[in-house]
Structure 1
Amino acid sequence: MQQTPSAPALNQTPRLPPKAATGLAALRSSEPDDYDDEDYSAPEVSEAPKQAEVEVDLEAKVRIRRVLYSAEDGYRVMLVTKGKDKFKVITNFAQGTEIGDEVMIRGKWGTSRGERVFNAVAVVGEMPRSAMGVVYWIKKSKIPGVGAATADALGKHFGVRLIDVVTQPEILVEAEIPLEKAKAIAEAWLTNAMRPETVAFLAEHGLNSRQIKNVMEVLGETARQKIAENPWSLSELIEGVGFATADRIGAIEGHAKDSPLRMRAGLRHTLIAAKRDGHCGLPVEVLVEKAAMLLQHPKPIVHKYIDLALDGHAAVLDEETGLAVSLKVRAVEQRVARDLARLLNCGAYEHDEALAAIRLAETQMHITLDPSQREAAVNALTHAVSVITGGPGTGKSTTQKVIVQALSNFKRDIALVAPTGRAAKRLAEVSGREASTCHRLLRVQEGAFVHDAGNPFPNNWFIVDEFSMVDIDLACSFIQAIGSDSGLTIVGDVDQLPSVGAGQVLRDLIESGVIPTSRLEVVHRQGNDSAIVTAAHRVNNGLTPLPADVYTAKGFKVMPIEQPEEILGKVISLLKDVLPARGVDPLRDVHVMTPMRPREIGVDKLNEAIKAALNPAIEDDPNSVTIGKTTYTVGDRIMQQRNDYSKGIFNGEVGFVCHVGHRPDEENGKPLPFIVVEYPESKATYGKSDIEDIELAYATTVHKSQGCEAPVVIFAAHRSQMFMLRRNLFYTAITRAKQLCVVIGADECIERAAATIDLDRRYTGLAKRLQSEMAIEPELDEGIDHMVPAMVPGGFLQIDEP
């Protein structure tokens, strides 16, 4: 049996001067002229790599002979040679390299599936060192306007001199090529000459292929120099590169911990992180406190750099709100305030006319509104912008129906809208009319909204439900696209969780005192879900959902279980046995919620356990594929995690895997796994490059459940999640249930969830900006009084203790 050569030995030669030593070692290169191109099979590894080989970063010059596997996101497995030796290289960055290229690899020896491999942080091409190499490089570099004929002309004219003059366009024109082409060739050469070192440097610090590509595009040929001068610019300019990565590079480049560049970047990063936490800005003292923890400096030291961070270029201390804000967020809030003021100044219907229209609509629909509902409906018609808020069962949907009928009688072109597909579907069901999501009404083409201030919606009245879910960015895009002389009726429950994105738009509109607001407080719902309604109102007033020592009511059940494995077992029992026996589809009729992703009863563990119980992946099953770390099976419940305008699928949309398979890689024909997810209105395909945009959704956080309703809701909580248990979170979970709500967790958790008010109010400026736009001094909002209705038995979906 022919012996396959083992991986080459490593020569420990220093790569950098002592003062800049990084532990990298070099391998001496040799030309692979005698490479035998027989079929390659992985060698048997007789012994583990030596400890020194595993621990020390290494670099080697090799030639790519085959690409054994290639994924869309840059992941590759390649067969390379170094002299007579050949071995596999695994990397996440090999962009711009081809079979036959001589490349530099940097990384460590390791083992994959029992085979010795080289794990490269980067594979970067070597620049040619001969005239013929330059000709070949020009041909394959795809320089705009430069082809093979130009490359051959240069080679023929300059011969061996080409390697010396390739960076001098004034000399290249001697080969009778246009000056523009000569400049393009020289610029491409200089850019690529700098590129290998920069790419390797960034890859070693954990940047992925997409981020490295962005760095090269944004910072250009002098990227390495610019990074050395200000490493923290990476966190400000490149999406996905955090402060920690930039800070680590800063330390390597020798910047001091109290460098003004670092202090400014830390303060600005804190503002960016605050937006991810839902804030539109921060008071200066809060900004300094948070930044001091990040920068590991005393607050007085950090405070000295406030003026540097808020210099008006990226962030500013806003006089109107008193908050430190980014210029982008301030512009968004200002735009929302201006557009709402523009609409508020437009005319609506006179009171008597509106009242008559509402009474007529009631008669036509055989509905009788209570006085507060009728007042809310009239308020909606007499003001171009208004808010209707109230808890579950207070008649928001019924009021909307009457408003829609009245507007139809006025021949208004009405658009019914909600933030998510699930909320829009529910709005269509209760209204009996077509409803759309905000994004779909805005329409997306080539990554941008079709409708905006310059191209407003064709509709002239908008009713937007579940408005508590709308963040400041979506509010800005949507409201600016509403034409003047249009109406906007906003409906939502202000006591639910605020939006996942930044802002608390609904609360700000109400608290500004500028937007006419109607509060519905009388509970009407007396049917199958009235026990759920009662429980929700109890929780909203700080009480447990059921009275003391009561664990079961029609449509509501509390299971006081403490141990995580028992909680998990109960969830599985309900989904697999108890609920299906009562005609409930555990995948489509049940929504499992928990406060957070990690911990014992977090989303991750619940999803893993529920999938294993309801839709397990079976080895060699043609209905399953593995992409990344997750195995997907036909029937899996999936949730989109970000807005994807190219697919037309938006954050929070839920679908089901309807097909799995493999398709050939465009580069090498190797099969790549993919899945197809069917959403309510479309299908979308996912591969390795975008698989992180989705996740299993057998269970979700309560935040991710906003806007949806399900016949059955299971809310599971454990002591390890105690710091996340808040009244508005618990209230939101309960109000998602239509027929049955099951709460599983220790009594202590349930009491904590009902009693704890979320004091982490979001810092926003919209309310003050609205007041400034309308130039009024509004009365202080005293909040909303909540009624606690009596328990009303009804025809509930009931389950007994399994």
Structure 2
Amino acid sequence: MTGSSRAERTPPARRPPFYMEDRTRIEGTLERIVFQNPENSWTVARIRDEAEDRLLTIVGRLPGVSVGESLRLAGKWVFNPRFGEQFEIESYEVKPPVTTIGIERYLASGLVKGIGPEMAKRIVERFGVESLDVIDAEADRLLEVDGIGAKRLAMIREGWGEQKNVRETLVFLHQLPIGPALAARIYEAYGEETVRRVRTDPYALADEVWGVGFQTADRVASALGIAKDSPRRAEAGVLYTLGQLSQAGHVCYPRAELARAAGGFLEQDEAAADEAIGRLLANGSVVAEELEEGHDLIYRAEMLEAEEMVARSLRGLLVSAPAGPSIDSHRALRWLEDSFDFPLGDEQKVAVEAGVDGRVVVVTGGPGTGKTTLVRSLLAILARAGEEVVLAAPTGRAAKKLEEATG
């Protein structure tokens, strides 16, 4: 009895909410763009799901889409505490609208110059589901529509051509091995020149579009049929290798060693990499400074410029910076060693004396090489001499570490 009562009170099974459904693909007609960020194309929109005829909220990057277009989306359901269930877009494909309702909404959206809601209605009433084909291939037939004369026809032709370029560009980008976010950035960087520029030199993406590195550009190039032994690939690989070396602290690198490193990375012989270096020298992408006869140091042009700027600034400081306090550095160093447990190596002692005597001192070194000990030593000596010291750091994190190390 008790068991059956419990069974009778058990609520019926409910369908899980949208965001828990096992659906990762949606197809439908874009009905409204609620919001679109013009800088990165991040969009909130409403789409009518073809499968269940319901309005869904979609979010993500959707460059170049317009109301009335049919979209095929891939992504996942998420739950927003404020806005509820949303479909988060991971990739998408734009399809021309195929129904008269979709075509009318598409044309009425203001997408094509010369066509507003009323004119869109007239065009669809005249040509039905063939309306887009007529605009695309037989535009002169639009003169059959009341209100369209030669001037408006020219405006429609121009507007349709612009939108056709956008659609073709998006189709081109979505065929490449990149996601929608990156496709949006590429389109934002190149605009109507996207297809031409990417086809001409996909490796330029690594220098010209934020978030694209050599590997991504290389995948795009491969998808476009560019061979692994392409001279342009070798040049891009040399620049990438120099960039990686700079992350390890090298502003330049000996030419022979660079050719060896780039060749290994590219899986090509050193000769091909060295030839690429020669071409990059010729076009100014890299520059060489002769270390000794027959041995050049190779810089990315901007790195040499930065190094020279630092050198000029240091030279200026050496001349213009006020002289330091009048402290006998030898006596100060002996006092430091007698008063504190600062075990200083020979190089550190030289650096302490230079810091006390000099106008400007540059200290470099990796972790654990004694930079913090050197700073603490200088602070102790200057405090003993009654000097007021100001410490500065380029980032908040670095400032915090400096404060913790020096007290």
What TM-score range do you get, normalising by the shorter chain? 0.5 to 0.7
Residue identity matched to 1:386: V
Residue identity matched to 2:381: V
Q: Tell me which residue corresponds to 2:30.
A: 64
Q: Tell me which residue corresponds to 1:425.
A: 400
Q: Tell me which residue corresponds to 2:376.
A: 397
Map 1:151-550 → 2, pairs under 5 A: 164=139, 174=151, 190-319=161-290, 322-346=296-320, 348-349=322-323, 353-355=326-328, 379-386=354-361, 391=370, 396-403=375-382, 406=385, 408=387, 415-425=390-400, 427-428=402-403
Residue identity matched to 1:416: L
Q: Percent identity?
A: 23
Answering whether residue 91 of structure 2 is matched by residue 121 of structure 1, we say yes
Residue identity matched to 1:105: R
User: Are the structure 2 counterparts of residues 219 and 231 from structure 1 closer, same or farther at C-alpha, using a change threshold of 3 Å?
Assistant: same
Residue identity matched to 2:49: T
The 2-side partners of 1:211 and 1:198 are apart by 13
- Contact 2:60/2:88, CA 8 A, preserved across alignment: no
Give the counterpart of 1:94 among 48, 55, 62: 62
The 1-side partners of 2:269 and 2:50 are apart by 53
Q: Tell me which residue corresponds to 1:103.
A: 70
Residue identity matched to 2:29: R
User: Are the structure 2 counterparts of residues 295 and 401 from structure 1 closer, same or farther at C-alpha, using a change threshold of 3 Å?
Assistant: same
The 2-side partners of 1:334 and 1:380 are apart by 23
Q: Tell me which residue corresponds to 2:145.
A: none
Shift of residue 233, structure 1, vs aligned partner = 1.9
Answering whether residue 109 of structure 2 is matched by residue 136 of structure 1, we say yes
1:91-134 per-residue CA deviation (whole Å, 9 max, x = no partner) reads 86434546x53234376xx9989xxx998622447599978844
Q: How many residues align?
A: 344
Q: Which runs of 4+ in 1 moved over 6 A?
A: 70-73, 75-78, 83-91, 110-113, 117-120, 127-132, 158-162, 185-188, 367-370, 372-378
The 1-side partners of 2:351 and 2:90 are apart by 65
TM-score (norm 2): 0.61
Q: Secondary structure at the match of 1:304?
A: helix
Q: Tell me which residue corresponds to 2:3.
A: none
The 2-side partners of 1:350 and 1:245 are apart by 51
Q: Secondary structure at the match of 1:322?
A: strand
Shift of residue 400, structure 1, vs aligned partner = 1.0
The 1-side partners of 2:301 and 2:96 are apart by 42
The 2-side partners of 1:284 and 1:398 are apart by 40
- Contact 1:374/1:399, CA 8 A, preserved across alignment: no
1:127-166 per-residue CA deviation (whole Å, 9 max, x = no partner) reads 9997884452249xxxxxx9xxx8659959x98999549x
The 2-side partners of 1:254 and 1:388 are apart by 49
1:70-90 per-residue CA deviation (whole Å, 9 max, x = no partner) reads 999959897543487679898
Q: Tell me which residue corresponds to 1:662.
A: none
- Contact 1:347/1:383, CA 8 A, preserved across alignment: no
- Contact 2:186/2:194, CA 8 A, preserved across alignment: yes
User: Are the structure 2 counterparts of residues 284 and 376 from structure 1 closer, same or farther at C-alpha, using a change threshold of 3 Å?
Assistant: closer
Q: Tell me which residue corresponds to 2:84.
A: none
In structure 1, runs of 5+ residues without a counterpart are: 1-38, 140-145, 166-170, 176-181, 433-802
Shift of residue 395, structure 1, vs aligned partner = 6.7
- Contact 2:372/2:405, CA 8 A, preserved across alignment: no
- Contact 2:110/2:116, CA 8 A, preserved across alignment: no
1:544-572 per-residue CA deviation (whole Å, 9 max, x = no partner) reads xxxxxxxxxxxxxxxxxxxxxxxxxxxxx
Residue identity matched to 1:63: T
The 2-side partners of 1:354 and 1:246 are apart by 57
The 1-side partners of 2:243 and 2:72 are apart by 35
The 2-side partners of 1:104 and 1:397 are apart by 63
Q: Considering only aligned residues, what root-mean-square deviation do their CA atoms show, in Å? A: 5.6
Shift of residue 292, structure 1, vs aligned partner = 1.9
The 2-side partners of 1:379 and 1:288 are apart by 39
Shift of residue 417, structure 1, vs aligned partner = 1.6
Q: Tell me which residue corresponds to 1:722.
A: none
The 1-side partners of 2:284 and 2:267 are apart by 25
User: Are the structure 2 counterparts of residues 426 and 349 from structure 1 closer, same or farther at C-alpha, using a change threshold of 3 Å?
Assistant: same
Q: Larger helix proportion, structure 1 or 2?
A: 2
The 2-side partners of 1:388 and 1:300 are apart by 38
Map 1:642-653 → 2, pairs under 5 A: none
The 2-side partners of 1:341 and 1:67 are apart by 57
- Contact 1:388/1:396, CA 8 A, preserved across alignment: no
The 1-side partners of 2:285 and 2:158 are apart by 31
- Contact 2:93/2:171, CA 8 A, preserved across alignment: yes
User: Are the structure 2 counterparts of residues 405 and 261 from structure 1 closer, same or farther at C-alpha, using a change threshold of 3 Å?
Assistant: same
